[in-house]
Structure 1
Amino acid sequence: MATLKEKDECGDLRWGIRENPPSDYLFEVESFSLFSESGYGDIESGEFVAGGHKCEDEDYDEYMCLYLSLEDQGKEVHAIFRFFLFDQIRGNYLTLEGDVKRYDSVKYQWGVIFISLQEFKDPINGYLVNDTCVLGAEVYVVRRPVLQQRLSISNMVNVIYNYTWKLTHFSELVDDECFSDAFDIGSYKWRLYLKPNGDADNRGCNLSLYVEMMDPPDNSSDEHVKAEFKITLKDQINMKHYIKRGTNWFGPSTLHSWGWGSFIPLKNLHDRAKGFIVEDCCKFEAQITLLCKTHLKPLDS
């Protein structure tokens, strides 16, 4: 395995051995010794395209230092590079992969100190055969996210509403659902609804009661609201009221109603001693508090 000189500019580096050639660019250098003997300096490859961007690589003396340069220097590109050196004896490639780097008009070139020339020229390693070597490069361009959004949250202070729902002729309620009048809390319309004989598995066993946001935010605003509920079934005789509490988020991606399928057992509701139904009248009090809301907006807004 090649040894890496201590200083490089690409952070964590990962060595590997691979049989397949590079998918982006292969670069053969003939008469390698003449370049150093003639003082040629940096060896630059031709341009190649990776991820829609033009690049080139190069090396120089004492150590083989491979660099990847972005030719389209007016652009900003984030990319991961992998360099290749062909072992002409064993038929595989020594590879070195770096971390994600940003290429732009200020910093358009990144590179590594790949291998010492002594190790590179050692015939046992097979990197330089008949004074010819084969280098390569792969570049994975990290795409910018297509969708960029910002999520924010804000408290809603003192947004509290108390609503009393009085149902007369309760014994005559035979509809599957019974709705209260609408009421406003903040900038939203709400209502209560119940199923006197219960819904689904609760039918015939429990009264079901729900809180509904009638005009939830649409998908264009992507706003969500968190609400806290206190629902009280009034004991009109003993003042031992029956209370249930809960919290829920409302928004375009959530259910628009929330509550209890088994709010109270029907046998308790109709127990005259408990005082929940008096003169065929039942009373509910709802205290609804809006706690906070979230907004999901484009990042550039």
Structure 2
Amino acid sequence: MCSNVSSTTMQSWRERSPSSYSLKIQNFSQLENSTLSSKSNEKYQSRLFSSGGYNWSMIIYPKGNDKDNGSGFLSMYVEIDSTSLMSKPQTEVFADVRFFVFNKNVNKYITIQDVESKRFNTLKTVWGLPQVLPLDTFSDPNNGYVFEGDQCEFGVDVIVAPPPANWDILSFNEKFPCPKFHWILKNFSELKELVYTSSILPVGGRKWFLSLYPNGESAKTDGESAKVDDERVSIYLILADNETLREDEKVFAQAQLRLLDPFGHDHVTVELKDWHIKSNPGWGHRHFMSRTELQKAYLGKKDTLTIEIEFEVVSETKCSPII
């Protein structure tokens, strides 16, 4: 028979001994008697031991902790030394705590632990289990917890959870002092180069530019260059070269890209929305619009093309240093 434990505790058996602290008692009945004095408060408190950079002690109530609903049970606790706690920059400690009671019959430790990490601070220095084992179960020599006359062994593992060494803080900025930019290309019908780029667009702590292929972007298929798609204009939003991303870094951008009608009636708007990564820092539309349609309806009197981009969202990631 095992103790009555809450639904958040787990019991199991383990051969390996406790790694944080072990207490072997040669005469358990004498320990019981020693805790009956008024000064002991019916408990035995171990010497200090170190775990996770802090000092701890294990507390045993041989007759149970009546003040914590432990009457009729063996009660076990662990206490953090407040002196070591206050000497650290971290004012609170999270720890996984596992209690042990050795069983000679199976030569293993019954282990009892809570599924949740426990918070220790200057206001809460003690945590434990008031009902580890029923006293009649523990005291019966036939059950193996008290053996070779009056010997027994208790233990505890205190595994201190360090602050996270790796972390990211991802935010999405939606407010910019200047979210809208215009790019004017003069003498569009005479453009001969494969690709043209805008000036730098500083938004969201990053630097961007637009890339336009007047005769369509050249693509590669199966290792061979495909023909230039001179029927469609291609346009992309790209992170500037000096915005070098790490291999695992990515930046999200959402923007409205508009081809402005010089007469102000029929602007063409497409959405740019994607994650920019090192291997692909640019996203856009390869088949944005046919060159014929563009020249017919979207060039000004002086053969000028006006492109507008309005940024709506740019992500920012703050992360821990990479070692």
Quick check: TM above 0.5? yes
Structure 2 Cα separation of the partners of residues 21 and 259 of structure 1: 61
What's 1:243 paired with?
A: 268
Structure 2 Cα separation of the partners of residues 259 and 64 of structure 1: 68
SS in 1 for 2:154: strand
Question: Is 1:204 matched up with 2:228?
Answer: yes
Task: Say which is worse superposed, 57-66 or 119-128, in terms of deviation.
Answer: 57-66
What's 1:141 paired with?
A: 160
Cα distance 1:193–1:158, how it changes in 2: closer, same or farther (>3 A)? same
Task: Say which is worse superposed, 72-81 or 85-94, in terms of deviation.
Answer: 72-81
What's 2:101 paired with?
A: 85
What's 2:118 paired with?
A: 101
Q: Is the 8 A contact 1:228 1:291 kept in 2?
A: yes
Instruction: Give how far 1:35 is off.
Output: 2.5
Structure 2 Cα separation of the partners of residues 54 and 158 of structure 1: 52
Cα distance 1:26–1:290, how it changes in 2: closer, same or farther (>3 A)? same
Question: Is 1:64 matched up with 2:74?
Answer: yes
Instruction: Give how far 1:296 is off.
Output: 4.9
Q: Could you list the per-position Cα deviations for residues 128-168 of structure 1 after superposition, in whole angstroms to 9, with x for gaps in the alignment?
A: 11111011111110101246665554533795646363442
Instruction: Give how far 1:241 is off.
Output: 6.5
Q: Is the 8 A contact 2:213 2:233 kept in 1?
A: yes
Pick from 220, 232, 257 the counterpart of residue 230 of structure 1.
257
Note the 1:70-219 alignment, pairs <5 A. Answer: 70-71=80-81, 72-74=84-86, 75=88, 76-98=92-114, 99-113=116-130, 114-129=132-147, 130-146=149-165, 150-156=169-175, 159=178, 161=180, 163=182, 165-168=184-187, 170-171=189-190, 173=192, 175-180=193-198, 191-197=209-215, 198-201=217-220, 203-205=227-229, 206-212=232-238, 214=240
Structure 1 Cα separation of the partners of residues 118 and 137 of structure 2: 28
Point out the structure with the larger strand share: 1
Cα distance 1:122–1:218, how it changes in 2: closer, same or farther (>3 A)? same
Structure 2 Cα separation of the partners of residues 126 and 188 of structure 1: 68
Structure 1 Cα separation of the partners of residues 14 and 184 of structure 2: 75
Task: Say which is worse superposed, 26-35 or 132-141, in terms of deviation.
Answer: 26-35
Task: Say which is worse superposed, 157-166 or 102-111, in terms of deviation.
Answer: 157-166
Cα distance 1:125–1:52, how it changes in 2: closer, same or farther (>3 A)? same
Matching residue's letter, 1:178: Y
Q: Is the 8 A contact 1:199 1:208 kept in 2?
A: no
Question: Is 1:291 matched up with 2:291?
Answer: no
Cα distance 1:96–1:46, how it changes in 2: closer, same or farther (>3 A)? same
For structure 2, the residue ranges without an aligned partner over 5 or more in a row are: 65-72, 221-225
SS in 2 for 1:275: helix
Q: With structure 2 as the length reference, what TM-score do the two structures score?
A: 0.70
For structure 1, the residue ranges without an aligned partner over 5 or more in a row are: none
Q: With structure 1 as the length reference, what TM-score do the two structures score?
A: 0.75
Matching residue's letter, 1:139: V
SS in 1 for 2:174: strand
Instruction: Give how far 1:94 is off.
Output: 0.6
